[in-house]
Amino acid sequence: MTISADWYLGLSVVLFSIGALGVMIRRNVLVMFMCVELMLNAANLTFVTFARQLHDIGGQVLVFFVLVVAAAEVVVGLGLVVAIFRRRANATADDLHLMKG
Amino acid sequence: MLHVTYLIILLPLVGFAVQLVAGRRLGDPAAGGVATAFIGASFLVSVGVYLDLLTVNAPVRSYTQNLWTWIPVDSLQVHARLFVDPLSMTMVLFITGISTLIHLYSIGYMKGDRDYSKFFLYMNLFVASMLILVLGSNLLVTFVGWEGVGTCSYWLVSFWFTKESAASAGKKAFVYNRIGDVGFLLAIFLVFERIHSLEYTTIFSHLDQIGSGYITAICLLLLVGVMGKSAQIPLFPWLADAMEGPTPVSALIHAATMVTAGVYLLCRINPLLHASSSAALTVAIVGGVTAFVAATIACAQQDIKKVLAYSTVSQLGYMFLAIGCGAYTAAIFLMVAHAFFKGLLFLGAGSAIHGLHDEQDLKRMGNLRKYMPLTWITFGIGWLAIAAVPPLSGFWAKGDVLENTWAAHPALWGLGLLTALLTAYYMSRLTGLAFFGGDRWAAEVPIDVDTDMPDAKHAEGPIPEPHESPRIMIIPLWILAFFAAFAGLLAVSNNHLSLSAWIDPVFGSSLYHDHLSTAALWTLGITDAVIALVGVFIGLRLWMNVAERPQLEVQFLRHSWYINEFYDTIFGRPSARLAAFSADVIDPKVIDGGVNGVATLVRRSGALIRRTQTGYVRNYVLGIVLGTVLVLAFMLTRMWWG
């Protein structure tokens, strides 16, 4: 018995929503980071689902691109997080509002 | 020598260039000598051209010299072209001749001036501009000269510009001329719009294409220009202020150049005036009224040069009167005669002023005939000539004008005759005050201290005994006196050498013929002579020994009919108020308000929008999510209902 594509897409929606909500609600920069990763992987899951359903290898190829971009992003992002931790005790996003107009 | 006509203009221009480059190095008096030599050479060339023009056998003698195409633009083809005919030749001869004498005189008069060479620089350019004006074969070349004399008169009138009054007099001359120039320019545009050519000959051969209404408009617009240049009502006050310039400049402006430009232009466009009787009548009325008004003002002026200035305005009025009647030859005759005697009077007055160490107040002159006999004799000839005492030139010239006026417009003739009486009177008043009476200059303080008329120029400090002027200033006086006395022969002789035989063909059918009987001519002539003698008698009788007659010098005339005050009230003050209003209200409120308003708007709207920039990442993310939701919702609705 094969599990239908709807379930995969449903899981993807759930993951994406958790990620988006997490970015919006949580204040810890590390957690927000993980939420962003969650959203990316929700998207990956969608890609893979459609690739399998439509028999198109393009979707799976795109996942690799996303993974590469996500890895690069993590490098930059974690670098920022480390820099922030060096300057202050915790890493709360709301404390970093220097760009306030 | 006709083919070297261009040299007439080129020589003064070269003189100008020489002064420009080497004037200061030449210094005093070499710079003056060089300048005089160039004008003199120009005069000699003019004589050569004149003699050649005489040999041209045609009903209308003329010669056109094409120099180059100045403006070749589609249908606008303007040539730098010179046109020589008896009219322009007459102008050229007396312009160069009298200018030479005035330059010669200036060598002595300007001696020791700080800007000696600069004076001659301007003078040469002035003469060159005037020659361009009269020799131009189309309206635009004439306009170049027209502007040239305007500019040079500005420089020369305000030559002693460190004096406040001289600087503002120069400005005044410039502004009045500028008002006139607007009329001239509009006339040029109108002519071009109608026939697409500015050449005089083309204009005259296409009169029917212009249309009679347009002809009147063109004439009246040109009249506006001419009013400015020739100081006619209502644009005449600048000429009296132009007396701030050195006296040779006054002589040059009044006798040979500048003010005669207007008379020349009206004579040049005689076919247009002939085609529009209303324009011609306007010219006659303007001339007659100006002649009378200026003569009344001259009766009460106290500055010797101002009397002469208003006298010039008055005489120009006579010329306009003649032109308005169609008596162009009479106008030219008076212009030539006037050039001689007014040049003489100005140079004579300059000699008196020079002898009295720059005293110009008539009330502080007196008995100069004893101290300056040569000046007195020559000035006396000029005085009798302008008073129209027979047989001097003024009598014949003014007689010509008056007899034509009598035949054409009897009412204006009456005004003209009254003006003739006034002319003889005020000139005799001037002569009586300056050359007769006691040694008033010896008085310690100025006799007339109640000067609420602050325009008579005074010498600084007490005046030492007057002295006769140097010979270089007296020689031009003698030459001018000779011509002032005998220029009348030009008209009296009936052979082919007379002015009328020479110049009448230029005007052709536009010329007015009065057809008066011999008896009428004699009567008019005797009337003129009697009027002149009566005027001279009254003037001398009243002013020979008495310097103060307040009842004859009413404030109304001393203040030139309050014309300056009038202009000040209706133009000057409102303009000043407008300027003040602009400075106090429009500039800070409207201009600054606009600029500051834009800045404030940007600042306020910026302050509003900056609130969206909270610096909290979650807010931005919320924005992104909401945006995404909106876009998705939009696309979904398109899918379901599209």
Q: Which two tokens stand for residue B364?
A: 């502080």
Q: What is the DSSP string of B125-164?
A: HHHHHHHHHHHBSBHHHHHHHHHHHHHHHHHHHTTTTTSH
Instruction: Phi first, then psi: give them for residue A10, nearest 5 degrees.
Output: -60, -45
Res B379 pLDDT > 70: yes
Q: Average the pLDDT over each of A44-48, B359-363, B492-496, B572-576 and give the range with the smallest value.
A: B492-496
Under CATH, which number does the domain A5-95 receive?
1.10.287.3510
**What is residue B496's predicted lDDT score, i.e. its pLDDT?**
62
CA distance A57 to chain B (A): 27
Q: Which residue of A24, A25, A33, A80 to mutate against B (max B Cβ within 10 Å)?
A: A24
The tens digit of pLDDT for each residue in B439-456 reads 887 776 555 544 444 456
Whether residues A32 and B613 touch (CB distance < 8 A) is answered with no
Query: For residue B492, what is the DSSP state?
Result: H
Whether residues A101 and B616 touch (CB distance < 8 A) is answered with no
Whole-number average pLDDT of chain A: 88
**What is residue B505's predicted lDDT score, i.e. its pLDDT?**
83
**What is residue B97's predicted lDDT score, i.e. its pLDDT?**
92
In which band, very low, low, confident or very high, does the pLDDT at B224 lie, cut at 50, 70 and 90?
A: very high
Give the mean pLDDT of B47-63.
Answer: 86
Whether residues B613 and A101 touch (CB distance < 8 A) is answered with yes
Whether residues A100 and B613 touch (CB distance < 8 A) is answered with yes
Whole-number average pLDDT of chain B: 88
Give the mean pLDDT of B314-322.
Answer: 93
Whether residues B621 and A98 touch (CB distance < 8 A) is answered with no
**What is residue B450's predicted lDDT score, i.e. its pLDDT?**
46
Q: What is d(CA B207, CA B214) in angstroms, rounded to the nearest whole number?
A: 10
Q: What is the DSSP string of B513-531?
A: -----HHHHHHHHHHHHHH
User: Closest partner residue to A24 among B610, B612, B618, by Cβ?
Assistant: B618
Query: For residue B565, what is the DSSP state?
Result: H
**What is residue B497's predicted lDDT score, i.e. its pLDDT?**
67
Q: What is the DSSP string of B312-381?
A: HHHHHHHHHHHHHHT-HHHHHHHHHHHHHHHHHHHHHHHHHHHHTTS--BGGG---HHHH-HHHHHHHHH
CA distance A3 to chain B (A): 27
Res B381 pLDDT > 90: yes
Res B14 pLDDT > 90: yes
Name the closest residue on chain A to residue B622, using Cα atoms.
A24
**What is residue B592's predicted lDDT score, i.e. its pLDDT?**
93
**What is residue B461's predicted lDDT score, i.e. its pLDDT?**
67
Q: How many CB atoms lie within 10 A of CB A34?
A: 13
Give the mean pLDDT of B499-526.
Answer: 84
User: Closest partner residue to A23 among B613, B615, B621, by Cβ?
Assistant: B621
**What is residue B355's predicted lDDT score, i.e. its pLDDT?**
86
Q: List all residues 6 or more positions away from B295 whose beta carbon is below 8 Å from its beta carbon.
A: B310, B311, B314, B419, B422, B423, B426
Q: Is the peptide bond before B391 cis (omega within 30 degrees of 0)?
A: yes
**What is residue B449's predicted lDDT score, i.e. its pLDDT?**
45
Res A42 pLDDT > 90: yes
Buried/exposed code over B54-84 (b: 16+ C-beta within 10 A; e: otherwise): eeeeeeebbbebeeeeeeeeeeeebbbbbbb
Q: What is d(CA B386, CA B314) in angstroms, rounded to the nearest whole number?
A: 11
Residues of A in contact with B626 (CB under 8 A): none
The tens digit of pLDDT for each residue in B382-438 reads 999 999 988 889 998 998 899 999 988 889 999 999 999 999 999 999 999 989 888
A87 touches chain B (CB under 8 A): no
The tens digit of pLDDT for each residue in B335-370 reads 999 999 998 999 899 888 888 888 888 888 888 888
CA distance B607 to chain A (A): 9
Give the mean pLDDT of A5-22.
Answer: 93
Give the mean pLDDT of B252-274.
Answer: 88
**What is residue B457's predicted lDDT score, i.e. its pLDDT?**
67
A83 touches chain B (CB under 8 A): no
Whether residues B625 and A20 touch (CB distance < 8 A) is answered with yes
Q: What is d(CA A91, CA B296) in angstroms, rounded to the nearest whole number?
A: 101
The tens digit of pLDDT for each residue in B114-163 reads 888 899 999 999 999 999 999 999 999 999 999 999 999 999 999 998 88
Q: Which residue has the higher pLDDT, B440 or B92?
A: B92
**What is residue B284's predicted lDDT score, i.e. its pLDDT?**
93
**What is residue B133's predicted lDDT score, i.e. its pLDDT?**
93
- Domain residue spans of chain A: 5-95
The tens digit of pLDDT for each residue in B22-49 reads 888 888 788 899 999 999 999 999 999 9
**What is residue A1's predicted lDDT score, i.e. its pLDDT?**
66
Whether residues A24 and B625 touch (CB distance < 8 A) is answered with yes
A101 touches chain B (CB under 8 A): yes
- 3-class DSSP assignment, residue B411: helix
User: Closest partner residue to B615 among A20, A32, A100, by Cβ?
Assistant: A100
**What is residue B642's predicted lDDT score, i.e. its pLDDT?**
66
Q: Which residue of B603, B610, B618 to mutate against A (max A Cβ within 10 Å)?
A: B618
CA distance A1 to chain B (A): 33
A91 touches chain B (CB under 8 A): no
Whether residues A96 and B615 touch (CB distance < 8 A) is answered with yes
Whether residues B621 and A101 touch (CB distance < 8 A) is answered with no
Q: What is d(CA B150, CA B148) in angstroms, rounded to the nearest whole number?
A: 5
For chain B, percent of residues with pLDDT exceeding 70: 96
